[in-house]
Structure 1
């Protein structure tokens, strides 16, 4: 099946806009010069404060409870992605009926079985990407728990501060990497919701993509959550 038999020019432009918007937003949030103003960066700073505080604690039940919460949340989203993938495969088996139903609706877009199946496979790909991100984040949070257990107790840290700092650095780095993959998976779910607009039409996909980017950008840089952290980004190396 040739691609031009499934996609016309408006659909191709909408798809390129969707992918380009996702990639561009990710680059701005994670790697651009304004990334340090975002919520993710500021929470990475707080992760370091958490690890430094943990080093001075005699009992670390609080830290293990925090890690358990992070793992449970990650596992929930990973399971949700599996259910979403299963639902998409179920819909693929009914692609012809879906195309018939949508054709009867007062929409300008035209649908056929090949187009519906292709769009559903794209949705499967998005949720599969999110699942792998959540799955890897879950595993990294598990590793972080082990590294936290390897951080020496306070009296041992006082005896060998250099080794203690190195143990904290390892746990902190693993925690930040896990958080990065978790955020990427969550971002995939949000853009998966934007992708649903394509089933209405290419113009709607462009609109839903722009809407999701605006919502995510506001939450990342201008929301109450950013202000509630209430810190100035440090001038040292970016976390």
Structure 2
């Protein structure tokens, strides 16, 4: 412990960080509360979109929607790749950075070994995000192909058209799931930055990020917008 530069508080904070990430993942994607989350509510509209696609002869609008989703994914993939380079750059100026962070409010003395380990941990988070965004980009590409494969109902059996639309919706949903996981990694990377100041700051930033993400998924105005009936009386 002493030789590694990590304290008990560091290990507790890192454990809290990992548990927060895993718990949030479970709550949104695995628990019984998941269907009420913003992500899962929007998945229903992905399927509704693909069913509406069946009624259109011209699929340009559907291709444009898919392209906009893919372009947004490409932006985040590029950003995560730059973040990987930026975090690795921190290793080159480790001595100066250690001195700087130790002088910040609540900052504690840390060793070069501990600093390098923290930087590598941050790099791993951005690498994870890059793989998620890159895979999501590829899946949106597949989704575009599946959109093109959806036949018009007038040209074939309705069952075949429904199945093709379901496949396109399912692929789009999987692409969106991986995009959400990559974006989740970005949010937790912000919380992870608190560890460079001290373990106590990491606990605080993790709790704050966890609350913000939970609120957006389960109690935000975006969730309320999906729960409203047709055409409310007021804004």
Deviations 1:203-231 (A, max 9, x none): 11011101001000100011110111126
Name the structure 1 match of 2:19: 20
CA drift of 1:154 comes to: 3.5
Please tell me whether the aligned partners of residues 57 and 154 of structure 1 are also in contact (alpha carbons under 8 angstroms).
Answer: no
Superposed counterparts of 1:151-170, under 5 Å = 151-156=150-155, 159-170=156-167
Structure 1 unaligned regions, length at least 5: 233-239
Name the structure 2 match of 1:71: 70
TM-score (norm: length of structure 1):
0.92
CA drift of 1:4 comes to: 5.6
Distance of aligned partners of 1:179 and 1:4 in 2 relative to their CA distance in 1, 3 Å threshold: farther
Structure 2 unaligned regions, length at least 5: 230-235
Shift >4 Å, 4+ stretches: none
Please tell me whether the aligned partners of residues 132 and 181 of structure 2 are also in contact (alpha carbons under 8 angstroms).
Answer: yes
TM-score (norm: length of structure 2):
0.93
Name the structure 2 match of 1:235: none
Distance of aligned partners of 1:64 and 1:3 in 2 relative to their CA distance in 1, 3 Å threshold: farther
**Cα RMSD, aligned residues only:** 1.5
Please tell me whether the aligned partners of residues 42 and 231 of structure 1 are also in contact (alpha carbons under 8 angstroms).
Answer: no
CA drift of 1:107 comes to: 3.5
Paired with 1:99 and 1:82, the residues of 2 have a C-alpha distance of 24
Distance of aligned partners of 1:138 and 1:31 in 2 relative to their CA distance in 1, 3 Å threshold: same
